[in-house]
Amino acid sequence: MNLELSEEQEAVRRLAEDFVAREVTPHAVAWDRAEEVDRAIVKKLGSVGFLGLTVPEEYGGSGGDHLAYCLVTEELGRGDSSVRGIVSVSLGLVAKTVATWGSEEQKREWLPRLASGEALGCFGLTEPGTGSDAGNLATRAVRDGDDYLVSGTKMFITNGTWAEVVLLFARTDDTPGHRGVSAFLVPTDSPGMTRRAIHGKLGLRGQATAELVLEDVRVPAAAMLGPEGKGFTVAMSALAKGRMSVAAGCVGIAQAALDAAVRYAGEREQFGKPIASYQLVQELISDIAVDVDAARLLTWRVADLIDRGQDFATAASKAKLYASEAAVRAANNALQVFGGYGYIDEYPVGKLLRDARVMTLYEGTSQIQKLIIGRALTGVSAF
Ligand SMILES: Cc1cc2nc3c(=O)[nH]c(=O)nc-3n(C[C@H](O)[C@H](O)[C@H](O)COP(=O)(O)OP(=O)(O)OC[C@H]3O[C@@H](n4cnc5c(N)ncnc54)[C@H](O)[C@@H]3O)c2cc1C
């Protein structure tokens, strides 16, 4: 793998850096305090091409490679993880999955709208009773003529109150475990669906997170994504690529922590000298820097494997595991460099730590990533 960015990739990275400096960074603290990102950001993300970055051009996307996607995701994560998550979910988990598994009709119906930001997607897998054990979900889709009637509750759904469509996973037969699960594309204004915003999150406060309750929601059989009973395979294929995007967002958090720590250590003086001159402060900063590089290299490797059509799932779990833990460590180390000021939200590092904390939890906890990696190495499944 060539670690030097091509001119095109560097141009995409710079575009994202400029976008974040103009449209995200100036508002991030206010959005965090208000617990709401300005919804106008969705259209802006669409017009600059970020919501359709890896969607094929024939469906309204820009047909970019996965390294370009990592570069954009990293820059967005550097600016505000709440904004990064909007893209990771709508593009990474929903649009890309429609592009991979969808019928021609489904692709024509949803991809141009998702790529432009005219519509936003959300991913409905987790339920109140099933998080890590997602294959045991309880939401049911019962056949009724040419339709299904879907009932159940989905929990912690990113973009949930904003999205126009949910990629929803429901049980279409009573076979226990993941074999009875199918995937559906369901408009969120369907009669019988109610959405409740979840507030009080530790981090990602600006992001719209919701509980979705479905009561006999009528979904045409043509809205099934992928074959009947293969919904769990659809979900896992989405999450494997999604983990690369979370990892790239974590690199962005760690890079932001590094930038902030280096700047502050050079400005802040104690005992008559900048704190940057003290070796124990340099240790905190160098630990962050090593984490940034290691996390970025693991993440780029996943992009390279995907773009070359190689197996990438275990590499994606390694990158997600390492980068998410690294982002928490990096933000925590940066907060230490800031001393008491790091604890106040006028300074950036407290938010970085709060936003980083969820990364070891969603899209598969760190424990689940270790089990996936362990299964690949030993051939024995713990699930
Ligand atoms: C802000 C936020 C946004 C989210 N967005 C979405 C979304 O858009 N769509 C969606 O579907 N979900 C989403 N989620 C849900 C998220 O993916 C789940 O929270 C996550 O999968 C963990 O599930 P759980 O919370 O039920 O924890 P549990 O599965 O109950 O886990 C609790 C603890 O037990 C451990 N554990 C569980 N099983 C094992 C095991 N076999 N071996 C060892 N340890 C184990 C876990 O690692 C964890 O430490 C989101 C969550 C949050 C907080």
Our answer to whether residue 363 is catalytic in this structure is yes
In whole numbers, what is the pLDDT of the chain averaged over residues? 97
**Does 369 contact ligand 1 (Cβ within 6 A)?**
no
Provide the pLDDT for residue 214. 98
Answer yes or no: is pLDDT of 177 > 90: no
Provide the pLDDT for residue 46. 98
Over residues 290-317, mean pLDDT: 97
* pLDDT tens column, 29-54: 999 999 999 999 999 999 999 999 99
Distance in angstroms (rounded) separating the CA atoms of residues 21 and 18 = 5
Over residues 93-98, mean pLDDT: 98
Q: pLDDT category, 175, cuts 50, 70, 90?
A: confident
Distance of CA 292 to the CA centre of its chain: 18
Answer yes or no: is pLDDT of 189 > 90: yes
Which numbered atom of ligand 1 lies nearest the CA of 368? Answer: 47
For the record, the structure tokens of 155 come out as: 């929990």
Residue 49: left (phi > 0), alpha (psi -120 to 50), or beta?
left
Q: pLDDT category, 126, cuts 50, 70, 90?
A: very high
Provide the pLDDT for residue 2. 84
**Does 81 contact ligand 1 (Cβ within 6 A)?**
no
C-alpha 371 – ligand 1 centre gap (Å): 14
Answer yes or no: is pLDDT of 174 > 90: no
Provide the pLDDT for residue 302. 98
Residue in this structure with the two tokens 């119906």, named with its chain if needed: 109
Asked if 66 and 129 count as a contact pair (C-beta separation under 8 A), the reply is: no
104-112: list long-range contacts, CB under 8 Å, 24+ apart. Answer: 105/222, 106/185, 106/223, 106/225, 107/59, 108/59, 110/165, 110/185, 111/52, 111/55, 111/56, 111/59, 111/60, 111/61, 112/59, 112/60
Which numbered atom of ligand 1 lies nearest the CA of 160? Answer: 8
Provide the pLDDT for residue 333. 98
Give the CA count within 13 Å in the CB-facing half-sphere of 338.
Answer: 26
C-alpha 230 – ligand 1 centre gap (Å): 21
Distance in angstroms (rounded) separating the CA atoms of residues 14 and 21 = 10
Distance in angstroms (rounded) separating the CA atoms of residues 277 and 289 = 17
Provide the pLDDT for residue 382. 84
Domains of the chain: 7-120 (1.10.540.10), 123-228 (2.40.110.10), 233-378 (1.20.140.10)
C-alpha 108 – ligand 1 centre gap (Å): 33
Q: pLDDT category, 104, cuts 50, 70, 90?
A: very high
Sign of the four-CA dihedral 174, 149, 152, 115: positive
| Structure-model confidence comparison of residues 177 and 88, the more confident one | 88
C-alpha 381 – ligand 1 centre gap (Å): 19
For the record, the structure tokens of 17 come out as: 């850096």
Provide the pLDDT for residue 297. 98
Q: Which helix (H) or strand (E) holds 231?
A: helix 231-267
**Does 161 contact ligand 1 (Cβ within 6 A)?**
no
Kindly name the residue from 23, 75, 127, 363 that is annotated as catalytic. Answer: 363
Which 3 state secondary structure label does DSSP give 363? coil
* pLDDT tens column, 319-352: 999 999 999 999 999 999 999 999 999 999 999 9
**Does 381 contact ligand 1 (Cβ within 6 A)?**
no
Over residues 242-261, mean pLDDT: 98
Answer yes or no: is pLDDT of 176 > 90: no
**Does 360 contact ligand 1 (Cβ within 6 A)?**
no
| AA identity, residue 118 | E
Those residues with Cβ within 8 angstroms of residue 292's Cβ, 6 or more apart along the chain or in another chain = 251, 254, 255, 258, 326, 330
